Structure 1
């Protein structure tokens, strides 16, 4: 999913602009299911966290838990809903 790759890159860049060094990606099983290729390319340490579901958290591990701005949480669920909607619209006979 190109959109997901863009969202990840944007979150990583935001953290870097704030002087942080994102090095870990915590992902839920639903996120992994739809983003395997993106995760292989991301160059971050990836950890599966069951409780995250369809979400992921990009973080600088040195500051995780110490500073709220040291991480960004993203969700793949809105992208899945949007893609499903577009697929339904394409399938309509107009």
Structure 2
């Protein structure tokens, strides 16, 4: 999913612009299902967190819990809904 890769890269860039160095990725089980290949390419330490569901949190572990802006949360759920919508539209075309 290129869209997911773009979301992840955007979150990383935002953190770096704030002077942080993201190094961990907390991911929900549903996020893992749809992003396995992306996670394999990822150079972050990855931790599965059941409560995150379709979401993931990218963070600088040095400042996580100390600063609000030390992490970014992204969700795969809106992308899945959008992809389902486009599939339905394609199926309607005659």
Scaled by the length of structure 1, the TM-score of the pair is 0.98
- Alpha-carbon RMSD across the aligned residues, in angstroms, is 0.6
The residue that corresponds to 2:7 in the other structure is: 7
Gaps of 5+ in 1: none
Deviating runs (4+, > 3 A) in structure 1?
none
The Cα of 1:57 is off from its aligned counterpart by 0.2
Gaps of 5+ in 2: none
* Distance of 1:65 and 1:56 partners within structure 2: 16
The Cα of 1:42 is off from its aligned counterpart by 1.5
Q: Secondary structure at the match of 1:64?
A: coil
* Distance of 1:87 and 1:51 partners within structure 2: 29
The residue that corresponds to 2:61 in the other structure is: 61
